[in-house]
């Protein structure tokens, strides 16, 4: 079984692995989405800041899956969910979503929420299988068409 999930702190040397994984996993969006992904602005410093403002969780040694969790407006936002291509289909994204669900319940939040780009239809399908439904469509500044979808998932009943 793959190690984790485990929480990383702002000084954790494994944040470099998380950053590299996210960059690798989001690289195929280049040229597919407009505007370009915010992953291009992600640095070790901003990832460490995410550890302070929210939580960064990972699976594996070396790290093969990761997610950033940030509470906002009674919801828990899932950001930069990444699973190494060679490890997809093994339930790692599901494990991270279930972890997020447990963390949201522990914080007494209402639901999980995430943003997905309109063009990334395969991601829409993946998140639908994980229980997410579309609740909004939004446009990045300067765009007159939706560029992102907001997906939400109700929390699982407490065990």
pTM for the full model?
0.93
CA pair distance 150, 139, nearest whole angstrom: 11
pLDDT in tens, 3-36: 879 999 999 999 999 999 999 999 988 888 989 8
Residue 91: give the domain boundaries. 6-154
Judge whether 95 lies within some domain. yes
CA pair distance 62, 46, nearest whole angstrom: 21
Cis-peptide, bond into residue 87, ω within 30° of zero: no
Judge whether 159 lies within some domain. no
CATH of the domain at 99: 3.40.630.30
Band the pLDDT of 159: cuts 50, 70, 90.
low
pLDDT in tens, 94-134: 999 999 999 999 999 999 999 999 999 999 999 999 999 99
Number of structural domains found in the chain: 1
Which positions ≥6 away from 62 have C-beta within 8 Å? 17
Judge whether 121 lies within some domain. yes
Judge whether 1 lies within some domain. no
């Amino acid at each position: 079984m793959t190690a984790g999930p485990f929480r990383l702190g702002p000084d954790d040397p494994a944040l470099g692995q998380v950053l590299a994984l996210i960059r690798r996993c989001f690289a195929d969006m280049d040229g597919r989405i407009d505007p370009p992904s915010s992953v291009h602005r992600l640095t070790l410093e901003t990832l460490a800041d995410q550890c302070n403002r929210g939580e960064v969780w990972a699976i594996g040694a070396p790290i093969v899956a990761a997610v950033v969790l940030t509470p906002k407006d009674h919801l828990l936002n899932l950001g930069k969910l990444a699973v190494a291509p060679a490890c997809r289909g093994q339930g790692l994204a599901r494990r991270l979503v279930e972890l997020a669900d447990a963390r949201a319940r522990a914080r007494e939040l209402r639901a999980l929420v995430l943003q997905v780009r309109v063009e990334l239809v395969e991601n829409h399908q993946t998140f639908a299988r994980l229980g997410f439904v579309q609740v909004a469509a939004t446009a990045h500044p300067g765009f007159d068409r939706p560029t992102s979808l907001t997906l939400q998932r109700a929390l699982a009943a407490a065990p």
